[in-house]
Structure 1
Amino acid sequence: METSSFQALVRSEFAPRTTYLNSASTGLLPARAVRAMHEAALSVAQGSPDDMFADVEAARAAFARLVGVAADRVAAGASVAVYSGLVAASLPAGAEVLTAEGDFSSTVNPFHVRGDLSTVPLERVAESVRPGTALVAVSAAQSADGRVVDLPALRAAVRAHGARLYLDASQATGWLDLADHIADVDYLTSVAFKWLTCPRGVAFFVVPDQADDPAGFEGVPALEGVPALFAGWVAGERPWDSCYGPVTELAHSARRFDESPSLFAYAGARHSLALIEELGVAAIGAHDLALADRFRAGLAALGHEPLAAPGSPIVSVPGLGVRRPELSAAGVEVSDRAGHLRAAFHLYNTEADVDRLLEGLRIG
């Protein structure tokens, strides 16, 4: 998409009243999603509810296209922690699982409560994979500081040693093209309320392609090897025939891991995801990274050095987190993470937004 068309479409969908640089916490909602949610809520208030389960299927299909998998590999839910827990529950006792130090809790805590894990610095995850490693669980991009995992190195390591890879892409989907990496990712999860600009209450879980994984881990196919611990009626092969009593036949696809959906959220999500597809992840990523680089250059001119996170739209600056309240009072929204000022640049941001933040830091 041409730059002018990109900008015109973005401006038609977003009209923030602040300088909003906090997409790593919560992405802004596009106008089309807000309208859809409003219409869905009205349909219920008026006694003629829209078929929002159709929105779930549209959102599932859109997410599948964005990450480069078939829709039957994607479960629709609401929480990364739930899916981390399912993967953790699938592992045999004593399995070695590698996680990165300081990774997001929802990604790693379900593995740590088992008490039989190994944890290493992010930079050493790939080199720490060994023949006895069962699984690597890591975020594609770190929430705290934006560091992006070396996916090619990690993919090569798990492939070489027969380990599985569980990737939390919550801080990557929407700006980082994952299609080139997905072939070596066994499980991928992502919330959608950050870089995918969806409402809260939407998350996705990708399972292996059963055709490519006939034996799976410990001889059990991946789909069967992950316990559907929270399966309710929506997880049945025929959901509307699975409303009462035990579900006698789980879905033959990743839908067996569906959570009962937050329908109003999905009513908006299908339109948010359609916008991401229309703009294109490659174009969004290039836009976001250019703004982040502009901020890094401006910080250097002010004598500040951000934490190293090349190729990321998230920039964290040590010692400046304390400035968040005054910046917010001036209409510039960022995060304070462990004393670091964290700015996250996304499709609706402009060079003027970057300069406004830099000016706020200059005069403070």
Structure 2
Amino acid sequence: MPETLTMPAVSFAEAFTAGAGYLAACTQGLPTRATVDAGHADLERWARGEAAPGDYDGAIARSRHAFARIAGVGVDDIAIGSQVSVLASLIAASAPDGAVVVCAEGDFASMVAPFHAQAHRGVRVREVTLADLPTAVGDDTWLVAFSLVQSATGEHADADAILAACARTGTLSFADLTQALGWLPVDASRFDITVTHAYKWLCAPRGSAFLTVRPGVRDRLRPVHAGWYAGEDPWSSCYGPLVAPADSARRFDVSPAWPVWPGTAAALEFFASLDAWAVHAHATALGDRLADALGLVDASGAPVRGRAILTWPDPDGAHLAALTAAGLRASGRAGRARVAFHLWNTPDDVDRVLAALHT
């Protein structure tokens, strides 16, 4: 059994009502106590007939401001939506006819499928391994789309090398931060475009997603989802064409699913209040301990380090079944067992994984 791990002095678990044995933040985060309270209060207000659509504007504004702090971007650079696939489809619809898009093999479908769906316009998708993304970006590449942290494997893309290749070739960079923001400090302003669904590591209700767009890129994208909420003054844009689309990235807003936003605001304000590097240290200390015990190595053969998501081959699902039988909530993806460590996890969760696998 590995040595006892000394965790950071900061305690995170008290913000949640549960979490012991829950190793599935990469599938769905757990709500904070504040998010649960906000959701209950909104549901009760609705049941009393006291809720009105305009009341949610405050929660949406709070969410946008908190996400700006978490992602390191300006509030005017943020659009809201409901799903990664919807926001990625907006980017795909903006690709010029015949454009070349480079994607990572095995990446999450929501980041790949929208570009394949543009094949009727001659848009070509070139899929390469994650490690080969920087060298696959050429002068003919309109955009490179990739998840910064891979859902199926927990691998990290080499953002520095990818961005350097984009700078050399004038290629747009589009990063999915869904499996990163919330445990991995990320400066989203480095990328031309990013997308994040907040229901995983940011622990928001499912249905609140964020698109960030650099100011210089906005006019290169088509607001194909433009509805009343994409107007400069949404409440004056309810009928007919948008006379005045928003000047900011709000021109790409998707009409909000109101009930998810009070809980989203509470969740994001909680994460915006944290030291992101302390959260990172907490999650990766647990991940490193389990990786060492299991002898996990990366694609180059080096020991796995610095990951909150750990995966290993499990083609018949036996390991996932053993974890589930031990009362642990884990997941399986692409023939691999998958566990994730977040704020509520402790060294005891590592010990329980090892015991379940009889390591």
| Match in the other structure for 1:129 | 137
Contact 1:76 1:204 in 2 (8 A): yes
Q: Does residue 358 of structure 2 align to residue 362 of structure 1?
A: yes
Match of 2:249 among 221, 239, 254: 254
Specify whether residues 297 and 132 from structure 1 end up closer, same or farther in structure 2 by C-alpha distance, changes over 3 A only. Answer: same
Counting only pairs closer than 5 Å after superposition, residues 160-199 of structure 1 correspond to structure 2 as 160-179=168-187, 182-199=188-205
| Match in the other structure for 2:212 | 206
Q: Does residue 353 of structure 2 align to residue 343 of structure 1?
A: no
Specify whether residues 184 and 206 from structure 1 end up closer, same or farther in structure 2 by C-alpha distance, changes over 3 A only. Answer: same
How many angstroms does 1:267 deviate by?
0.5
| Match in the other structure for 2:282 | 287
4+ long deviations beyond 6 Å: none
Specify whether residues 17 and 148 from structure 1 end up closer, same or farther in structure 2 by C-alpha distance, changes over 3 A only. Answer: closer
CA–CA distance in 2 between the matches of 1:54 and 1:280?
A: 25
Contact 1:159 1:184 in 2 (8 A): no
How many angstroms does 1:326 deviate by?
3.7
Structural RMSD (CA): 1.7
Q: Does residue 269 of structure 2 align to residue 274 of structure 1?
A: yes
Match of 2:44 among 18, 42, 45: 42
How many angstroms does 1:178 deviate by?
1.3
The secondary structure found in structure 1 opposite 2:273 is helix
Contact 1:322 1:336 in 2 (8 A): no
Q: Does residue 313 of structure 2 align to residue 318 of structure 1?
A: yes
1:5-32 per-position Cα deviation (integer Å, ceiling 9, x unaligned): x21xx23221326500011100111111
Contact 1:111 1:117 in 2 (8 A): yes
Please tell me the residue identity of whatever aligns with 2:27.
S
Q: Which runs of 5+ in 2 are unaligned?
A: 1-6
Contact 2:144 2:172 in 1 (8 A): yes
The secondary structure found in structure 1 opposite 2:63 is helix
Contact 2:8 2:282 in 1 (8 A): no
1:70-125 per-position Cα deviation (integer Å, ceiling 9, x unaligned): 10100011111111111111111111110010000001111112231211111000
Counting only pairs closer than 5 Å after superposition, residues 1-364 of structure 1 correspond to structure 2 as 3-4=8-9, 6-7=10-11, 10-16=12-18, 18-49=20-51, 51-115=55-119, 116-179=124-187, 182-209=188-215, 213=216, 222-300=217-295, 305=296, 308=299, 310-319=305-314, 321-362=317-358
The secondary structure found in structure 2 opposite 1:256 is helix
How many angstroms does 1:183 deviate by?
4.0
Report which stretch shifted further, 143-152 or 50-59.
50-59
How many angstroms does 1:347 deviate by?
1.2
The secondary structure found in structure 1 opposite 2:102 is strand
| Match in the other structure for 1:217 | none
| TM-score, normalised by the number of residues in structure 2 | 0.91
How many angstroms does 1:324 deviate by?
2.0
CA–CA distance in 2 between the matches of 1:33 and 1:240?
A: 27
The secondary structure found in structure 2 opposite 1:333 is coil
1:203-242 per-position Cα deviation (integer Å, ceiling 9, x unaligned): 0000112xxx2xxxxxxxx223211111111111111111
Specify whether residues 183 and 205 from structure 1 end up closer, same or farther in structure 2 by C-alpha distance, changes over 3 A only. Answer: closer
CA–CA distance in 1 between the matches of 2:270 and 2:278?
A: 12
Contact 2:67 2:272 in 1 (8 A): no
Q: Which runs of 5+ in 1 are unaligned?
A: 214-221
Please tell me the residue identity of whatever aligns with 1:184.
R
Contact 2:163 2:191 in 1 (8 A): yes
Please tell me the residue identity of whatever aligns with 2:291.
R
Contact 1:315 1:344 in 2 (8 A): yes
Contact 2:88 2:110 in 1 (8 A): yes
Contact 1:306 1:316 in 2 (8 A): no
1:296-340 per-position Cα deviation (integer Å, ceiling 9, x unaligned): 11213xxxx465554321110112733323422321011111221
The secondary structure found in structure 2 opposite 1:165 is strand
| TM-score, normalised by the number of residues in structure 1 | 0.90
Contact 1:307 1:316 in 2 (8 A): no
Contact 2:310 2:340 in 1 (8 A): yes
CA–CA distance in 1 between the matches of 2:92 and 2:19?
A: 42
CA–CA distance in 1 between the matches of 2:342 and 2:14?
A: 15
Contact 2:68 2:75 in 1 (8 A): yes
The secondary structure found in structure 2 opposite 1:332 is coil
CA–CA distance in 1 between the matches of 2:158 and 2:127?
A: 17
